[in-house]
């Protein structure tokens, strides 16, 4: 125990790392399941608020805002995500000033964050359309403005209706992160491919992909079970609320 403490205690001293900070790992050394989960969670977390705004814009009474939302959604949904990733790798660097370098992972995440809201927005819009018009009229009668009505009355009900669709999209987006391997990002699928070609693991080609498939299955199955639990929980809350 003492030898263990003496061996590893130096890593926790402030003078061990430069400027008293822990070392940063270059993004080109990121890889595996961590990259898959990081890209999925950050991009889906950023895409959901954008999707809500897009859904509201598509239902807006202002023609210009509604038209822009429709054009963006339809163009994005008609573009393959692989094409968007290649744009991030080949064209997006041309838009930055000379000498500036944008990290490859950041470029891919920007395009994914712009791609996913178009799909999520349609699910949210379906939930908004399921709310009776009387809800908005009652809120207006109480003196609530548009944004307060959406925040307190419409969106809480609409988002509860679209939980299955949102989880289905989230699972699909998690599986779509495997396309990051196409542009050279070392995600879970790319890690399995590299392991299968490693000289130390020759003969385990199928096992590497089966293990990656098992991880994807566990994540997706866990997400679907959480969706069922959340639906039942919200249903019980509605029944028990006075």
How much is the pLDDT for 30? 67
Computed over every residue of the chain, the mean pLDDT equals: 80
Of 35-39, 111-115, 188-192, which range is least confident? 188-192
pLDDT digits (tens, 9 = 90+) for 212-234: 889 889 999 998 888 888 888 87
DSSP codes of every residue in the chain: -HHHHHHHGGGGSTTTSGGG-PPPPPGGG--THHHHHHHHHHHHHHHHHHHHHHHHHHT-S-HHHHHHHHHHHHHHHTS-HHHHHHIIIIIGGGGSPTT----HHHHHHHHHHHHHHHHHHHHHHHHHHTS-HHHHHHHHHTT--HHHHIIIIIHHHHHHHTHHHHHHHHHHHHHHGGGGGGGT---HHHHHHHHHH-GGGTT-HHHHHHHHHHHHHHHHHHHHHHHHHHHHHHHHHHHH--
Q: What count of other Cβ atoms lies within 10 Å of the Cβ of residue 15?
A: 8
User: Domains (ranges, CATH) in the chain?
Assistant: 31-189 (1.10.3720.10)
| Rounded CA separation 220/12 (Å) | 37
**Percentage of residues in the chain with pLDDT exceeding 90?**
16
Lookup: tokens for 78: 């008609």
Q: Does residue 152 surpass a pLDDT of 90?
A: no
How much is the pLDDT for 56? 92
Reported as a pLDDT band with limits 50, 70 and 90, residue 36 is confident
pLDDT digits (tens, 9 = 90+) for 90-119: 777 777 777 667 777 888 888 889 899 999
Q: Does residue 17 surpass a pLDDT of 60?
A: no
How much is the pLDDT for 53? 93
How much is the pLDDT for 5? 42
């Amino acid at each position: 125990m003492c030898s263990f403490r003496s061996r590893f205690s130096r890593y926790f001293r402030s003078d061990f790392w430069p400027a008293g900070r822990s070392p940063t790992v270059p993004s080109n050394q990121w890889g595996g399941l961590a990259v898959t989960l990081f890209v999925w969670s950050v991009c889906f977390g950023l895409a959901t608020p954008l999707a809500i705004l897009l859904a509201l814009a598509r239902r807006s009474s202002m023609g210009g805002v509604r038209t822009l939302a429709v054009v963006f959604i339809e163009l994005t949904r008609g573009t393959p995500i692989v094409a968007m990733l290649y744009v991030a790798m080949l064209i997006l660097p041309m838009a930055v000033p000379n000498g500036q370098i944008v990290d490859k992972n950041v470029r891919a995440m920007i395009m994914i964050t712009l791609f996913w809201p178009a799909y999520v927005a349609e699910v949210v819009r379906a939930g908004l359309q399921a709310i009776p018009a009387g809800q908005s009229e009652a809120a207006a009668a109480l003196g609530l403005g548009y944004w307060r009505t959406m925040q307190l009355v419409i969106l809480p009900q609409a988002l509860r209706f679209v939980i299955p669709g949102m989880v289905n999209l989230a699972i699909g987006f998690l599986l779509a992160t495997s396309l990051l391997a196409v542009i050279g990002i070392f995600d879970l699928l790319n890690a399995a491919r590299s392991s299968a070609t490693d000289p130390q693991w020759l003969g385990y080609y199928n096992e590497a992909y089966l293990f990656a498939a098992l991880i994807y299955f566990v994540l997706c199955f866990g997400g679907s079970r959480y969706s069922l639990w959340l639906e039942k929980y919200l249903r019980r809350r509605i029944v028990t609320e006075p």
